[in-house]
């Protein structure tokens, strides 16, 4: 604890204790490569001994950027977007960055432009955009080219660095699992078709059925809610030919399970169901839900790595990182009766 009249240690104090110039201390703080490892360790030891904390405001004035990352995201309580944001905040904190979140109700041009301008006024180090729909990609096309930016779940054709889960492969794994259980075909309750994630899952479902020479049933388009899953499930439960359902997320699957139960269609004895996301409650559904897990932590860390690479001028061209999805087998799939 500081006593009255004492002051916080300054960079010059660190330099004096370490026996180096204040410029060398600055280079160590900014991870400059042209510092000998022995010198770097000596400076770090002095920082720890003095409990020195860099003046981030002054550092931003020197470097032109702060230790702050701006995130553009839709205001959503959906499991996927909310989990992605939480994981990214943690990954950024582990790397010594704070996160400023700019939430918008709709991913339209005016809303996104206002958030981006606010972030740039804060002199953020870079931007991460959780862009689930095409309208967001279009609105972000006007971000200055010299601003480091990484998209999560964006459009691969946008020409910006992108990190996304392999939605197509995840859907293919789900449908293949149902076909291998002996079902003739698989019905799909999709999310909103304008979402990139939903479009990828539709593509994977359709491709797998076509490659297996199976009939592709009509698509049942919904939103991401259990209520919409219930509505679709009520229709499917009345159709005796339906023996396998792939729901685009676990909340849709929950609604489907409720509708099947009310109609007397047993899961998995009469109908098999697979979801997507692996929400924490999925293993407590009745029956425990077979689903596809997305690693939001891996996506967040990959996005941060790409952004830090841009900050260090190590990555000139746009890069795309595809994170694999994992099928989690539980008790909601069985051979058809």
- 127, 98 contact by CB (below 8 A): no
pLDDT band at 2 (very low <50, low <70, confident <90, very high): very low
Q: Do residue 132 and residue 241 come from a single domain? A: no
**Helix, strand counts (H, E) of the chain:** 12, 12
Q: What pTM, to 2 d.p., does this model score?
A: 0.79
What letter does residue 140 receive in the DSSP assignment?
A: G
pLDDT of res. 4: 38
What is the chain's mean pLDDT, rounded? 88
Whether 330 maps to a domain, the answer reads no
Q: Are residues 108 and 91 in the same domain?
A: yes
Are 172 and 258 members of one domain?
yes
Q: CA-to-CA distance for 324 and 80, rounded, in angstroms?
A: 15
pLDDT at 3: 36
pLDDT at 6: 53
Find all residues with CB under 8 Å of 170, minimum gap 6, and list them: 200, 201, 204, 276, 292, 294, 325, 326, 327
Region 132-144: mean pLDDT is 74
What total of structural domains would you count in the chain?
3
In a shared domain, residues 302 and 161? yes
Domain match, 138 and 285 both: no
pLDDT value at 1 more than 70: no
Domain span including residue 207 = 167-294
User: What is residue 19's three-state secondary structure?
Assistant: coil
- Residue 63 has a pLDDT of 55
More confident site: 179 or 143: 179
Whether 124 and 210 share a structural domain: no
pLDDT at 54: 66
Is 206 domain-assigned?
Answer: yes
Average pLDDT over residues 197-208: 97
| Residue 215: how many other CB atoms lie within 10 Å | 9
**Same domain (yes/no): 271, 301:** no
Of 7 and 282, the one with more pLDDT: 282
The answer as to whether 335 is a domain residue is no
Query: Average pLDDT of 74-89?
Result: 88
The CATH number for 42's domain is: 1.10.260.40
312 and 201 in one domain?
Answer: no
pLDDT level of residue 143 (50, 70, 90 thresholds): confident
User: Which candidate, 161, 147, 162, places its Cα nearest to that of 315?
Assistant: 161
Task: List, for residues 121-131, the tens digit of each pLDDT value.
Answer: 888 889 999 88
- What are the b/e assignments for 173-189, b being 16+ CB within 10 Å? bbbbbbbebebebbbbb
More confidently predicted of 59 and 107:
107
CATH number, domain with residue 278: 3.40.50.2300
Dig out the tokens for 26 from the structure.
């600055």
For the chain, report the end-to-end CA distance as a whole number of angstroms.
72
Identify the pLDDT of residue 241.
97
* Beta-carbon count within 10 A of 324 CB: 13
Q: Which residue has the higher pLDDT, 180 or 105?
A: 180
pLDDT at residue 59, rounded to an integer = 53
Integer Cα distance of 334 and 267 in angstroms: 8
Judge whether 138 and 169 are in contact, CB under 8 Å: no
Q: Per residue in 23-65, pLDDT tens? A: 788 788 877 778 899 999 999 999 989 888 765 445 554 555 5
pLDDT at 146 over 90: no
165 closest CA partner among 43, 241, 276:
276
Q: Is the pLDDT of residue 236 over 80?
A: yes
For residue 328, being part of any structural domain is answered with no
Higher pLDDT, 315 or 129: 129
Q: Is 315 helix (H, G, I), strand (E, B) or coil?
A: coil
Question: Helices (DSSP H) in 95-239: which residue ranges?
Answer: 109-121, 134-139, 167-180, 196-211, 226-237
């Amino acid at each position: 604890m500081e006593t009255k009249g004492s002051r916080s240690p300054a960079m010059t104090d660190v330099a004096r204790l370490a026996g180096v110039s204040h410029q060398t201390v600055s280079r160590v703080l900014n991870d400059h490569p042209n510092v000998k490892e022995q010198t770097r360790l000596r400076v770090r030891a002095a920082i720890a001994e003095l409990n020195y904390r860099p003046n981030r405001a002054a550092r931003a004035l020197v470097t032109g950027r702060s230790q702050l990352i701006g995130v553009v995201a839709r205001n959503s309580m959906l499991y996927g977007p909310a989990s992605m944001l939480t994981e990214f905040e943690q990954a950024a904190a582990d790397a010594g960055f704070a996160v400023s979140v700019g939430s918008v109700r709709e991913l339209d041009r005016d809303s996104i432009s206002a958030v981006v301008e606010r972030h740039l006024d804060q002199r953020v180090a870079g931007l991460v955009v959780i862009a689930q729909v095409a309208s967001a990609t279009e609105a972000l096309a006007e971000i200055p080219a010299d601003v480091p930016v990484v998209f999560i779940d964006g459009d691969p054709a946008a020409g910006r660095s992108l990190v996304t889960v392999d939605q197509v492969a995840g859907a293919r794994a789900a449908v293949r699992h149902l076909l291998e259980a002996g079902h003739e075909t698989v019905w799909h309750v999709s999310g909103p078709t304008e979402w990139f994630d939903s479009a990828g899952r539709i593509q994977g479902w359709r491709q797998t059925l076509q490659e297996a020479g199976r009939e592709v049933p009509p698509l049942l388009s919904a939103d991401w809610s259990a209520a919409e899953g219930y509505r679709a499930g009520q229709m499917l439960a009345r159709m005796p030919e339906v023996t396998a359902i792939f729901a685009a997320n676990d909340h849709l699957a929950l609604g489907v399970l409720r509708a099947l139960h009310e109609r007397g269609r047993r899961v998995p004895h009469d109908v098999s169901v697979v979801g997507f996301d692996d929400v924490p409650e999925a293993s407590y559904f009745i029956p425990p839900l077979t689903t596809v897990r997305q690693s939001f932590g891996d996506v967040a860390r990959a996005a941060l790595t790409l952004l830090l690479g841009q900050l260090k001028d190590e990555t000139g061209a746009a890069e795309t990182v595809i994170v694999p999805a994992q099928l989690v087998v539980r008790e909601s799939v069985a051979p058809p009766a």
